[in-house]
């Protein structure tokens, strides 16, 4: 498989498939992007993708039939991210384990991100091979 901006866990794929199954016949998956906001400066945004709003420029990843499109403007901030889905006593939702996070607010809803270091990424990929 080729290079992926983000990877999905089994739990995230299962939840995405549930969302698509319950969102009507035009639902295709979800889109992950970054928006400005929150006390730390940025927030992850997750939106439904339908047949009408598939963006050809978006990167996309698939696992077990679940598809996630990644907004190109967010790609450098999401490189190396693992998208998971967690159910805890206090919170249920998608969780992003992002090596590009430099800090997060106390509630965990807002993050500060730096663009991925492409030279470091290349070194890590070479070391893995």
Domain 6-127: CATH superfamily, name plus number: HesB-like domain (2.60.300.12)
Q: Are 71 and 82 in contact (CB under 8 A)?
A: no
Backbone angles phi, psi at 12, to 5 degrees: -65, -45
At 77, is the secondary structure helix, strand, or coil? helix
**pLDDT grade for 1, boundaries at 50, 70 and 90:** very low
CA angle, 39 then 116 then 84, to 5°: 65
pTM score of the predicted model: 0.78
**Segment 58-104, tens digit of pLDDT:** 888 999 999 999 998 888 888 889 999 999 898 899 999 888 776 56
Rounded distance, CA 12 to CA 87, Å?
A: 11
Q: What is the mean pLDDT of the chain?
A: 82
Burial of 64 (0-12, 13-18, 19+ CB in 10 A): exposed
């Amino acid at each position: 498989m080729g290079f992926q901006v983000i990877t999905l866990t089994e739990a995230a794929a299962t939840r995405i498939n549930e969302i698509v199954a319950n969102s009507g016949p035009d639902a295709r998956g979800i889109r992950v992007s970054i928006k400005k906001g929150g006390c730390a400066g940025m927030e992850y945004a997750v939106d439904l993708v339908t047949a009408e709003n598939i963006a050809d420029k978006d990167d996309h990843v698939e696992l077990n039939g679940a598809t996630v499109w990644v907004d190109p403007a967010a790609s450098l901030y999401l490189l190396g991210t693992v998208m998971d889905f967690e159910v805890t006593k206090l919170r249920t939702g998608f969780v992003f384990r992002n090596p590009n996070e430099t800090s997060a607010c106390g509630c965990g809803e807002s993050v500060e991100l730096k663009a991925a270091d492409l030279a470091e990424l290349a070194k890590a990929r070479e070391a893995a091979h």
